[in-house]
Amino acid sequence: MDTFADPQVNINEKKPSIKFQQKTSVNKRIIIGVVIVAVLVVVIGVAIGVPLSRRGTSDANMNLALKVLRETPLIDGHNDLPWQMRQFTRNQVHKVNLRENTTMQWLHIKKEDMSEPKYPRIYPQTDIPRLKKGMVGAQFWAIFVDCGSQDKDAIRQSALDTTAATHTWINQYDDAFRLVTTSDGILEAFKANRIASLIGLEGGHMLGNTMGVLRTFYLLGCRYMTITHSCDTPWADSWKSDLKPSEYNSTNNITGLNEWGKKVIKEMNRLGMIVDLSHVSKQTMIDSIEASSAPVIFSHSSAFGYCNHYRNVQDDVLQMVKKNKGLVMVNFYNGYINCPPNKKENATLSQVAEHFDYIKNKIGVDYVGVGADYDGVPQMPVGLEDASTYPDLFAELARRGYKEEELKKIAGENFLRVFKDVENERDRLKGNPPFEDLYPVESLNLPCNTNF
């Protein structure tokens, strides 16, 4: 808090005359009157202007946005609240009250009560009041543990700790959340005025190179897996291999999936687990789409053509997504929406809308959705600071000419179509034997692994 010193008073200074005092008193009253008028102007301006400026558009556009979100579940592809829970409470979820603003809770947790954070503290962006204000209908909660746990204790940290803790707090607030594992379940939860809560596994490094663990995650409720996080696995390369040699495959210049990795994709199809290609290398994107018999998603990625970051989706891959009938769920993070060739001084809501425009113009409105990445990144654009702001985005899209049916597709209908197609492919493959291929872990010389 800033402190302001009181002005010093000179006790030897002569007192002013009575006439001067009267004149001063009149002047003071005039000044006070002017101040009062100014305050009233500001208050009226706030009452009228702030809602409009916050909406960034007219009442008609906001009304359309609210109508869409009342009638169609807003399905967000990625939120890292489980990571926040792990990092700042050691998965002791009852230490945080999600019915209250998490800003006043996360940032005041004592260091001794925290896990050792490997990332800077992220300004809290999610809690039940803000999700409700944002009119969120369904949310994928991302299960993530640091890449440093790969081939060590990633399975314990993710499956046995973080996933279990996520189940705990979803059930703890069962008047607000409902655990969901099917496309129909999303609509049922929405009708019951609950936020459909789905679980996604963010990174194949948590498989321990075994198909059995993949199947176990499905049994635990995970309905998508991000093939890599920002680290390579022995069987799939991340986006960072587009910038430097792959950690595992640099000798043979592979930057995508190896044969075992392609079987992971096929086993996900058989299970009915959605293939998520955020975080992966371009070649892994291509290999995965070609290997998958079901639609894929990018749970939290944006358009490379507008912002040249390799976490985003390039134009030729966008065309593959359209052919695959998949989905790109636009990420809000400053670093993925505000970079060359369209870098601005500050990232804004308008720039996020530009990514929707870009993807819509390239491949159509049927292949774009929302994947904000709240509580997973330190900086969000002006106007989209936390999970309460989704209506503002939809009002901005309405201002740009998006029709009601297009807004409903973006909000949730596109994802429901993808999820249903994945389930239909699972049903078609019913009766096929599982892929039980063993990865030759002995070839990797992993000190923390014993042989099968």
CA separation for the pair 193, 305 (Å, rounded)? 38
Active-site residue (options: 127, 146, 161, 373): 373
Active-site residue (options: 146, 237, 300, 413): 300
39 domain-assigned? no
284 domain-assigned? yes
87 domain-assigned? yes
Give catalytic status of residue 229 as yes or no: yes
Active-site residue (options: 80, 127, 146, 232): 80
pTM of full prediction above 0.75: yes
pLDDT for 254 equals: 60
Active-site residue (options: 279, 354, 355, 406): 279
User: Quick one: how far is CA 235 from the chain centroid?
Assistant: 25
Give catalytic status of residue 108 as yes or no: no
For CA atoms 328, 141, 122, 311, the dihedral sign is negative
pLDDT for 19 equals: 33
Which residues lie below 8 Å from residue 419, measured CB to CB, with a gap of 6+? Answer: 182, 183, 186, 223, 274
Instruction: List the Cα angle 270/203/245 in 5-degree steps.
Output: 115
**Running along the chain, 452 residues long, what does each successive block of 10 average in pLDDT?**
27 32 40 39 36 56 98 98 86 91 75 58 89 98 77 67 94 98 98 98 90 95 95 91 78 76 97 98 97 98 98 98 98 98 97 98 98 95 98 98 98 98 98 91 69 62
6 domain-assigned? no
Tokens read off for 339: 């970079």
Phi-psi domain of 364 (left: phi exceeds 0; alpha: psi -120 through 50; beta: other): left
Active-site residue (options: 76, 161, 229, 287): 229
Give catalytic status of residue 202 as yes or no: yes
CA separation for the pair 180, 187 (Å, rounded)? 10
CB-count exposure of residue 103 (10 Å: 0-12, 13-18, 19+): middle
Beta-carbon-side half-sphere exposure of residue 140 (alpha carbons within 13 Å): 34
Domain membership of residue 330 as a residue range: 54-431
pLDDT for 57 equals: 52
Give catalytic status of residue 78 as yes or no: yes
Give catalytic status of residue 127 as yes or no: no
User: Quick one: how far is CA 100 from the chain centroid?
Assistant: 20
CA separation for the pair 306, 357 (Å, rounded)? 10
Instruction: List the Cα angle 440/441/443 in 5-degree steps.
Output: 75
327 domain-assigned? yes
Indicate the number of domains in the chain.
1
CA separation for the pair 380, 347 (Å, rounded)? 8
pLDDT for 451 equals: 64
Give catalytic status of residue 167 as yes or no: no
DSSP readout, 165-187?
HHHHHHHHTTTTEEE--SHHHHH
Find the DSSP H helices in 76-226: 81-89, 103-106, 128-133, 154-155, 163-172, 183-191, 211-219
**Quick check: bond before 295 cis, omega within 30?**
no
Residue with tokens 């430097």: 244
440 domain-assigned? no
312 domain-assigned? yes
The gap between the terminal CA atoms of the chain, to the nearest Å, is 59
User: Is the distance from CB of 86 to CB of 146 less than 8 angstroms?
Assistant: no
Instruction: List the Cα angle 119/123/126 in 5-degree steps.
Output: 110
15 three-state secondary structure: coil
CATH number for the domain that contains residue 140: 3.20.20.140
CA separation for the pair 361, 341 (Å, rounded)? 18
CA separation for the pair 261, 256 (Å, rounded)? 9
Amino acid at 180: V
pLDDT for 53 equals: 38
CA separation for the pair 352, 347 (Å, rounded)? 8
Give me the phi and psi of 333, to 5 degrees please: -55, 135
User: Quick one: how far is CA 168 from the chain centroid?
Assistant: 21
What are 283's strand-pairing partners? none
Give me the phi and psi of 423, to 5 degrees please: -65, -40
CA separation for the pair 355, 52 (Å, rounded)? 23
3-state secondary structure 43-77: HHHHHHHHHHHHHCCCHHHHHHHHHHHHHCCEEEE
91 three-state secondary structure: coil
35 domain-assigned? no
Find the DSSP H helices in 193-257: 211-219
Active-site residue (options: 76, 78, 237, 392): 78
Q: In the chain, count H helices and then E strands.
A: 17, 9
Looking at residue 196, the DSSP 8-state letter turns out to be E
Residues in the chain: 452
